[in-house]
Chain A
């Protein structure tokens, strides 16, 4: 009997470990796909071949000096014109997907996304106010002024929520309702400001809202990259606690998690994370909602894997959207935010309807 049990026991462990290996392989594969896609995206945008582009990027990283004028131009074109937006798409996709995974698990709600707290409306108001009314921090003019205002605006809803949390219960449904209320408030302000703005400012303000990566430069990257990198490490460390949150507050509490404080910490982290992305790119919707779902559909809901794989998925999705806007459409005029929802929505719908009916949400 004992030996029988032991072999079954070993089977069980082997099966479990096989599942883990599958998930790890998925993460690795996603990474490879992402790298290939990124290079492909550069290649298609520039008219150079895939391997040629790969060589150009590699040469630049390795510090190989261009031998002639043509090579110099190729290097300049790929490195300065195309690559920043591809990198920005990757970082933004990863960051928004991270925000989405955390929000959904923490709220125990599949409809939550990084913008659930009203953060996008706040950012939008900051940016629009800066564009139309010229409100800005005195030392930062022009574009950086808009970024700074958007960042500050994005944090206002989060701050409001954190201050309110002392006086209310912080159950997911209350937080979602508060987020919705805050969104309406800021949307109203945005509408008002836009109504009184002149035509040029109106167009700038409108375009900012849609979300684009085509006009980003290398100087915009470091802040986004740092925040997303630090955020992802922190979230990875608590990913096992996110699992507890998925089963509801009471469950999580009885398994030793201080639910209220944990949720507030996550909210603060996500607010900073998302604010630092969308203040540069504008509001890119949908990717934060669908990337975690697609990931769960493939590898299940364990956040230890959903967090990293979801980030890669988000990066891939946004990279694809960027690629699509680059090769199918008039690049620059049709921003990534539009492409994202235009192509993403039908694909997501297809996935939802195709999934088995007994899995309510992937």
Chain B
């Protein structure tokens, strides 16, 4: 699978241009993280790749085919998308929600194979016990894993995820990202995630795309992208990078505000009664 983006530009109007001169070549079975500050156009970039939005200029190609010429139905077999939030005002069980992901492959009737795929995926994500629960009764983190399951059962060749770990506890953040990386390597698919947790991105990504002011600022391995200088330019924060197992560890510094001598305001405390 190869995604080629050439001279792409996207704007909601002439004044509000979100993305500028995007040139990207992403190929192979790997986990790619897109990082960058809020509002930099990460989600917009993903939406341009999976045809939710059409670029105002330039082209997006998948395996040499222009995305704008691929039908919505065919696109759903090529690329899967896991949104940041799921809103559903109607009661639907977790199984039924995940089964929607089988739509590109199945007809009206749910087959045993569909159920097998769904069950295996729920198991992999540690949520098989929620199968018959109502989606709306779950926590944000559980929602996120259900949506992830829905994207996985779609069995796409490219999987795009908008902050798949935003609502997860640290164990599940690691777990889910590891699953995504293994999936990419074992099933030979291209997984692209948007991430705000730089350490998670640094630990698991094969490559990182760092964005800044609507453009691609840096691409490369985590070691190449996560440097103190890059983080200062893009996020305007100071950091200290150490290396562990050949991967960068980012420690954020805030010398300006946090001071050992700075006392806790008088009268404020937390106690647990023990």
CB-nearest residue of chain A to B154: A255
Contact pattern, A 1-29, Cβ under 8 Å of B = 1, otherwise 0: 00001001100110110010000000000
Contact yes or no, A237 B108, CB < 8 A: yes
The residues of A that contact B154 with a CB separation of less than 8 Å are 255
Q: How far is the CA of A240 from the CA of B109 in the complex (A)?
A: 9
Min CB gap A7→B, angstroms: 12
Contact yes or no, A300 B96, CB < 8 A: yes
A16 contact from B80, B90, B95, Cβ within 8 A: B95
Q: How far is the CA of A13 from the CA of B128 in the complex (A)?
A: 12
Q: How far is the CA of A12 from the CA of B94 in the complex (A)?
A: 12
| Interface segment, one of A83-91, A202-210, A242-250 | A242-250
Min CB gap B207→A, angstroms: 23
B231 within 8 A of A: no
With A244-B100, A300-B92, A302-B96: A253-B128 Cβ-Cβ less than 8 Å? no
The residues of B that contact A358 with a CB separation of less than 8 Å are 136-137
B81 within 8 A of A: yes
**Which residues of chain B from 30 to 81 have a CB within 8 Å of any chain A CB?**
47, 50-52, 72-73, 75-77, 79-81
The residues of A that contact B88 with a CB separation of less than 8 Å are 108, 246-247, 301
Contact yes or no, B89 A240, CB < 8 A: no
Min CB gap B202→A, angstroms: 28
With A16-B132, A19-B132: A256-B86 Cβ-Cβ less than 8 Å? no
Q: How far is the CA of A12 from the CA of B98 in the complex (A)?
A: 14
Min CB gap A292→B, angstroms: 9
Contact pattern, B 116-130, Cβ under 8 Å of A = 1, otherwise 0: 100100010000100
The residues of A that contact B96 with a CB separation of less than 8 Å are 243, 300-302
Contact yes or no, B86 A251, CB < 8 A: yes
B103 within 8 A of A: yes
CB-nearest residue of chain A to B86: A247
The residues of A that contact B47 with a CB separation of less than 8 Å are 250
The residues of B that contact A246 with a CB separation of less than 8 Å are 88-90, 92
Question: What are 16 of the A-B contact pairs (CB < 8 Å)?
Answer: A12-B115, A12-B119, A16-B95, A239-B108, A243-B92, A248-B83, A254-B52, A254-B75, A254-B76, A255-B100, A255-B101, A255-B104, A257-B72, A301-B88, A301-B92, A362-B90
Known contacts A258-B72, A359-B134; 10 further A-B pairs (Cβ under 8 A): A110-B90, A240-B108, A243-B96, A244-B100, A251-B83, A254-B76, A255-B154, A257-B103, A300-B91, A361-B90
